[in-house]
Structure 1
Amino acid sequence: MLYIRKDGFREPYSRWKLTESITAAGLVNHKAYDLAKSIQRDIEGQGVDEISSDELRDIVVSQLQTIDEETAENYMTWSRVRHERIPIVILIGGPSGIGKSSVALEIAHRLGIKQVIGTDTIREIMKNMIAPSLMPAVHYSSYDAWEAITYRVREDKVIVGFREQAKAVCTGINAVIERSLREGISLVIEGVHIASEFIETSPHVVMVNMYLDNHETHKARFISRASATHVRRDAQQYIDSLDAIIRIQDYLRESAEEKGVPSLENREFEKTSAAILGIATRKMKALLT
């Protein structure tokens, strides 16, 4: 059996653990796994049963350089992030039903981040702690928060209601981010409430906004999500509210553009995940420079 030595301790070589660290560099899962398996085979073929983590890193870098120099550089970046225990918070915003949760889980998996939080969870906590009379907007779904607006407004009431809700929930999001960075814990936060105008920026925070322009595809994803997850929420209620959801999407894109936050259309899961990973990698390279 092959062992990896680090900080005076040793642990069995794990193809899955190495695969995870290689996918952070941008290599797709099956290619990363094949490389991890090949590296184990080559080392054991030399009659070696123990190497240091630094030696393993150098082997991986050497192998990746034969594939692509940038991928090798990305691997070294994320290796340093892990070694120096640098926390990172990735925020994935966008309207309901476009695949944020799936992408968030994939990004967390590739980067070895153990915590993924949905902003609806934060809203639910606030809803249970704060009376409707004090903060009415958080007691509605994002697309019908306009019902909490009892005063006359000149702007789009859907957006006014959503902004009130998002501003409140972002207070909780910012608190979670602040504590996470203070304690050195990396996490991914996803949800409709990630409105760029209300999020506090940090060199350790990576924020992206997702959208989907094809409304028929958007409807289909609501139906697919309802059947795949067996959630109690009826897909039809989202479809019936699609006009409000699209208006929220437009607001989120405008807010992101004003703050210089990248917006990505989630047409293909793999491409979107790779794009977000690339954005996070560039941010970490800048942080480490």
Structure 2
Amino acid sequence: MDLQNDIVVRGKSYEMPFSKGVLARSLTAAGLKPSIAYRIAWDIYEMLKKENVKVIDKTDLRRRVYYYLISKNYDEVAKKYLLWRMVLGRRPIVILIGGASGVGTSTIAFEIASRLGISSVIGTDSIREVMRKVISRELIPTLYESSYTAWRVLRDDEENKYIKGFERHSEAVLTGVEGVIDRCLVEGQSVILEGTHLVPTLLKDKYLENAHVIFIVLTIYNEKLHKMRFYARGRVSSRPTERYLKHFKIIRLINDYMVETAKKRGIPVVENIKISETVEKCLNIITERLKTMIELEGLSEEDMLEEEA
């Protein structure tokens, strides 16, 4: 990290060295290209040095960056920057990135976390493993299967068994997911949750209707491209490629089901072809939701400039 020890940024209960890298990351999240973001961060640093500033309040720094962006005709970037800094500084947000196996929920979640400075990214597979430690196979046998093999332990040969098995597998994991969401909202901690188990029709309405919870579903519409993702992933990880390909038809059914149910619940669906484009689309969706949150609170841009971080 690029830390400058001669300028200190003071928050309400902390102090930290000014960092051009951290500021540039914030500007990149607001929509600037990394090269331009870093140049502006350097300009802000040089401006503070020229004024012989040794300590600057975080609110004052936010104001300076905002008006500097406006002066350079980056009006939309300035608005996004102000929104992100104010919201992430004072309000918890929970971002849910769902999608079938292989569509890239983990990759996109970590990219968004990096852009927004959110330190906590939790995969639903990890929550599933924890729940396996406390819930026996006899009690919930579907929990001990994969999302695409859970149908094998259904007691009845039900119609649409692949989706039924997937739903029952996901229901148990969602109990843990909802616990994580509740804790983060109570403690004021932002988090990104990602994984196959984030099923639009199974998550309770109180979460879908919460302005602080933002749900996005990823997909890959082209079957051939989806299958190629498993080959590519197999070259860089220990995940069993052949196992996924063996159950690829079921994974595609789950993919279609996730997309269909997301659209029914009004949850945005983003096709993940190119990582950079997917991240930008997701950030735009998140930004619009945050605008709604701020509008509901009745805050103006001036209010956001004045509010302490």
Contact 2:94 2:214 in 1 (8 A): yes
In the alignment, the residues of structure 2 paired with residue 10 and residue 258 of structure 1 have an alpha-carbon distance, to the nearest angstrom, of 46
Shift >4 Å, 4+ stretches = none
Residue 275 (str. 1) matches residue 281 (str. 2):
yes
1:261 aligned residue: 267
Contact 1:26 1:278 in 2 (8 A): no
In the alignment, the residues of structure 1 paired with residue 256 and residue 285 of structure 2 have an alpha-carbon distance, to the nearest angstrom, of 22
In the alignment, the residues of structure 2 paired with residue 12 and residue 193 of structure 1 have an alpha-carbon distance, to the nearest angstrom, of 40
Residue 165 (structure 1) shift: 0.8
* Residue from 187, 195, 198 that aligns with 2:202: 198
Residue 46 (structure 1) shift: 4.2
Residue 55 (str. 1) matches residue 63 (str. 2):
no
* Residue from 167, 171, 175 that aligns with 1:171: 175
In the alignment, the residues of structure 2 paired with residue 8 and residue 163 of structure 1 have an alpha-carbon distance, to the nearest angstrom, of 45
Residue 13 (str. 1) matches residue 18 (str. 2):
yes
1:25 aligned residue: 30
- Counterpart secondary structure, 1:143: coil
Q: Give the residue type in structure 2 aligned to 1:214.
A: N
Residue 9 (structure 1) shift: 5.7
Residue 8 (structure 1) shift: 7.7
In the alignment, the residues of structure 2 paired with residue 4 and residue 115 of structure 1 have an alpha-carbon distance, to the nearest angstrom, of 23
2:184 aligned residue: 180
Of residues 193-202 and 52-61 in structure 1, the stretch that sits farther from structure 2 once superposed is 52-61
User: 5+ unaligned residues in a row in structure 1: which ranges?
Assistant: none
Q: In structure 2, do the counterparts of structure 1 residues 140 and 69 end up closer, same or farther at CA, with 3 Å as the change threshold? A: same
1:93 aligned residue: 98
In the alignment, the residues of structure 2 paired with residue 252 and residue 173 of structure 1 have an alpha-carbon distance, to the nearest angstrom, of 17
Q: In structure 2, do the counterparts of structure 1 residues 97 and 55 end up closer, same or farther at CA, with 3 Å as the change threshold? A: same
- Counterpart secondary structure, 2:149: helix
2:300 aligned residue: none
Q: In structure 2, do the counterparts of structure 1 residues 30 and 158 end up closer, same or farther at CA, with 3 Å as the change threshold? A: farther
Residue 78 (str. 1) matches residue 88 (str. 2):
no
Q: Give the residue type in structure 2 aligned to 1:243.
A: K
In the alignment, the residues of structure 2 paired with residue 133 and residue 59 of structure 1 have an alpha-carbon distance, to the nearest angstrom, of 60
Contact 2:88 2:190 in 1 (8 A): no
Residue 97 (structure 1) shift: 1.0
- CA offsets per residue over residues 50-94 of structure 1, 9 Å max, x none? 4332332122112322243221111111121134x2000000000
Residue 252 (structure 1) shift: 0.5
Give the fraction of aligned pairs with identical amino acids, expressed as a percent. 37
Residue 10 (structure 1) shift: 4.2
Residue 47 (structure 1) shift: 4.1
Q: In structure 2, do the counterparts of structure 1 residues 268 and 46 end up closer, same or farther at CA, with 3 Å as the change threshold? A: same
The TM-score with structure 1 as length reference comes to 0.92
Counterpart mapping for 1:206-225 below 5 A: 206-225=214-233
Residue 287 (structure 1) shift: 1.1
User: 5+ unaligned residues in a row in structure 2: which ranges?
Assistant: 1-5, 296-309
1:245 aligned residue: 251
Q: In structure 2, do the counterparts of structure 1 residues 225 and 34 end up closer, same or farther at CA, with 3 Å as the change threshold? A: farther
Q: In structure 2, do the counterparts of structure 1 residues 8 and 180 end up closer, same or farther at CA, with 3 Å as the change threshold? A: closer
1:122 aligned residue: 127
In the alignment, the residues of structure 2 paired with residue 7 and residue 134 of structure 1 have an alpha-carbon distance, to the nearest angstrom, of 48
* Residue from 106, 109, 112 that aligns with 2:117: 112
